[in-house]
Chains A and B, each alone.
Chain A
């Protein structure tokens, strides 16, 4: 649905030249919720702004819904943008217009007549749960309500893609959750493809099917969350399910087991303890539901050295679990 291909973008020239995007390629499948994470300054905003060409890449191509945007002329690009909604961290609502007026702006732009505008605005405000606030001005709304208006405006013209630039970063955790739920609903019920960027791992964990990690303008990892989790040494997986620092007591071995998909709900640990008559301590665990699947990691402490447990470890791996020995003698 969205295809970012070898996109580079730099700002400034000479000494002050900063490379914001360095040969970035990314595919977002139709109907997917894709999260791009990275620290501040990683190039996330630049990346998402190149998707609707608010920022024109220096090189590379952007294809949305089969249309190569980078090849379009100004007029054609405007039309293409009408099929790509966007929401912003600071909402960017017109203070001079009511909630309804803000939503209708999107419909005026595409030339709908007043009656149709009114009908569609009411419909979409109902979807985001703001019918009662239709006549209010943005200054009278809370942050969460403002973002709902932003979402309504972005969706009014029936786009097939929604871009979200840190849409929840200015909101408190409670409100963040409700906005994320709304985005997920829109994604599943309207079949919208959502590309969101965030610096919060929690956002990705809560709503995304796939994610990419951006650092210094490069994509370090990307893929479906369920797959990333079972990828050895994945930084995204470690950031998504942090287990903290490893402390190993003498004479013990510490292993991390990553569960995902089907093996998550099997009583793996209990079985392990039984089969091998071991005293197993659970040092930490992070279990979440990702895209409807249980997934997570558990850190276990086994008595004895790693060699002594090689049989156990290969037994676990044979069951399809990802096992990493993270600490212990001769580990």
Chain B
């Protein structure tokens, strides 16, 4: 039991929470980085390899495109449907292979990225599917390459919805990072677990909840700001914006 009235209580709490915060930001930051680096191309490939997509004929063969699409669909669906706690345990051999250990904040990045990548890939897919096919068509008529179409048309036009998708993705990474903490990953979840649950300090739980809440609020605000900033056609005629927000909300609610 922790003595709330002890003079060292608050300094210790602050110390513990700051360390936890640092670990959380470290885990979430790197997991997010890998999520974007891997999830973005994955999402683009997911849409592109669809029938009639930009990469339908990958390496000059329809078969290659079809196979890649099927594999990606399977992997993304699998990644999205396996409960995190099971995924976390299931990837331990892989984590050990990559990081050398499965304990600690660095090791926690692996399952966090693995759970977020398929999620973000779907968000990217949704965003890119909402880009008016007429734009791709116009780019083709100008003689653009597929790479130019991806970098100059699809990604910039889907940017607002990808930022909203990113906001949702971060929220879920933070969410899962708390769970990782209980399995020796450290971070705010670990603080709440060790002090709040094992040592019955309600104040620790309350402070952790507030800190996480503030982080999520700040990130949401920043990313929504970017989403708006890149959405030059706010409230376009086709209602694309509205449906996009709806999709994001639905997914947020699902976490």
Name the A residues within 8 Å of B73 (CB-CB).
none
Interface contact B144-A95, CB-CB below 8 Å: no
Set B139, B159, B232: member contacting A105, Cβ < 8 A? B139
Residues of B within 8 Å of A139, CB to CB, are 232-234, 236
Whether the pair A94, B135 counts as a contact (CB closer than 8 A) is: yes
Residue numbers in A under 8 Å from B135 (CB-CB):
92-94
Give A72 Cβ to nearest chain B Cβ, in Å. Answer: 12
Q: Given A94-B153, A137-B232, A139-B236, A52 and B148 touching (CB < 8 A)?
A: no
Provide the residues of chain A in CB contact with B234, threshold 8 Å. 139
Residues of B within 8 A of A81 (CB): 140-143
Q: Which residues of A contact B143 (CB under 8 A)?
A: 78-82, 109-110, 157
In the complex, which residue of chain A has the Cβ closest to the Cβ of B134?
A92
- B70 interfacial by beta-carbon distance below 8 Å: no
Write out the residue numbers on chain A whose beta carbons fall within 8 Å of the beta carbon of B140. 54, 81
* A88-B134 contact given A94-B156, A108-B148, A109-B143, CB 8 Å threshold: yes
Give, as a whole number of angstroms, the nearest-CB distance from B146 to chain A: 9
- Interface flag for B138 (CB, 8 Å): yes
Contact residues in A for B230 (Cβ distance below 8 Å): 96
Indicate if B125 sits at the interface (CB-CB under 8 A). Answer: no
Q: How big is the B interface, by class? A: 20 to 34
Whole-angstrom distance from the CB of A192 to the nearest CB of chain B?
Answer: 15
In the complex, chain B residues 124-170 whose Cβ is within 8 Å of any chain A Cβ: 132, 134-135, 137-145, 148, 152-153, 156-157, 159
Closest chain-B Cβ to A309's Cβ sits at a distance in Å of: 55
Q: Contact: B142 with A109, CB < 8 Å? A: yes
B157 vs chain A, min Cβ distance (A) = 5
User: Residues of A with Cβ closer than 8 Å to B?
Assistant: 52, 54, 78-82, 84-86, 88, 90, 92-97, 105-106, 108-110, 137-139, 153-154, 157, 163
5 residue pairs of the A-B complex, CB under 8 angstroms, read A86-B141, A92-B134, A94-B156, A96-B159, A138-B232
* Other A-B pairs beyond A97-B156, A137-B232, 16, CB < 8 Å: A54-B137, A81-B142, A81-B143, A84-B141, A88-B134, A92-B135, A95-B157, A95-B231, A95-B233, A96-B159, A96-B230, A96-B232, A105-B142, A110-B143, A139-B234, A157-B142
